[in-house]
Amino acid sequence: MQLIRRSANRRLRAFGAVLITTLGLTTAVAVTPATAAASACLTGTLAFDHLDAEAGTSKPLRTQVARNANWELWGRTGSGTATRLTAGITGASDGRFTACHTGSLAEAYVRFRSSSTSMWRVVKAANNTTDYTFDSARRTNVSGTLDLGTVKVPSTLQRAWKVVDTLNVLYWKRANPSSSCWTARQSDGRCDQITFVWDPKVADGGYWDYPNTNYVFLGATMPDSKHLILHEAGHWLQWQLYGRGFPVVEGCNPHYIEKHSSESCAWTEGFADAVAAYALGDYRYVYDNGSSYSFENDASTPGWDDGDTVQGRVGSSLLDLWAPGGPDGGNWNRTIALMTRHFSQDFREYFTEDRPAAGLSTTGAAERILAGHTIWY
């Protein structure tokens, strides 16, 4: 079985920001000059094609709008060089952009960046932390509003924008009611940014580089799996929830969903598995080749080891605690709040010490959930 690797042992520079509510959550969005008096606008929809590993090993090609992706309006008023005139992000639900400038433009185009505000980005290399960019078609003598229609991300760059778009689903569920940052440990204007390094020419990847760069590294085809993207983001999120701290992880190379590793490995990998499944609303892990592995398990599941040293047992326990009708109120919000106040070295500490301290149940339904996954405390 293919292993899920992380580096336990090797391990939106904002354009001026305001707070708006996006799909019920507050987020930082770039300020664009008022468009009421604008007389030159380029509008359209940003979209990308991608290979859909979540749909199976055939990985069908899908087209999707790129949500909350950074754009810049570039243009010139005369014969000089084009400059950046304004900036913003695409629509949170439809990928739409409206890029306007007061006054007509001799030439105008929109530049798209592989990032979202100052909250997350995809860069070219650890030593070249620049976004991927591409430009729309250039238009001349722009006055009034010109609709560019659907602007497609170039096929060679589509996986970068898939990462950008996929991180939205985790951000929207981050359960931080106090700021637009990833966690309540940080206040607006002081948010940490998650960085993904993706190089289409490099096959190696699939790990969070802790404690070195703290970037997520993805190999060439790895963005085909949203689960893989979000699993690695889950490691970074746990580090953020713990105030840039992380459990001391041992016995984690290799590690497998259904097999023994160590208490610390099962806790950190099981949490990351649960982050991805919770964000996407399912109960499995999907590899970038389109194969998947279900987290369904009990004492009689063939091939599964028992106990809290098995990441699949830990991850499925978390998902069931957070499930609709479950003991935690139907979501992970109380666990997220707990993790901003209590550091858990392993799942045992999380369940037996930190949950009671946060007012979360460890008896009744909660205890039965763990027992169903062969964890007894």
Active site residues: 232
The alpha carbon of residue 356 and the mean position of all alpha carbons in its chain are separated, in whole angstroms, by 29
Axis crossing angle, helix 263-280 with helix 158-172, rounded to the nearest 10: 100
Q: Decide: 48 and 244 in contact? Cβ < 8 Å.
A: no
Structure tokens at 195: 């960085």
Identity of the residue numbered 159: R
The alpha carbon of residue 317 and the mean position of all alpha carbons in its chain are separated, in whole angstroms, by 22
- CA nearest neighbour of 167 among 238, 125, 119: 119
Q: Decide: 163 and 48 in contact? Cβ < 8 Å.
A: no
Q: Decide: 218 and 198 in contact? Cβ < 8 Å.
A: yes
The alpha carbon of residue 127 and the mean position of all alpha carbons in its chain are separated, in whole angstroms, by 22
Identity of the residue numbered 88: G
> CA 89, CA 94: separation in Å to the nearest integer?
11
Residues with Cβ < 8 Å from 189, sequence gap 6 or more? 17
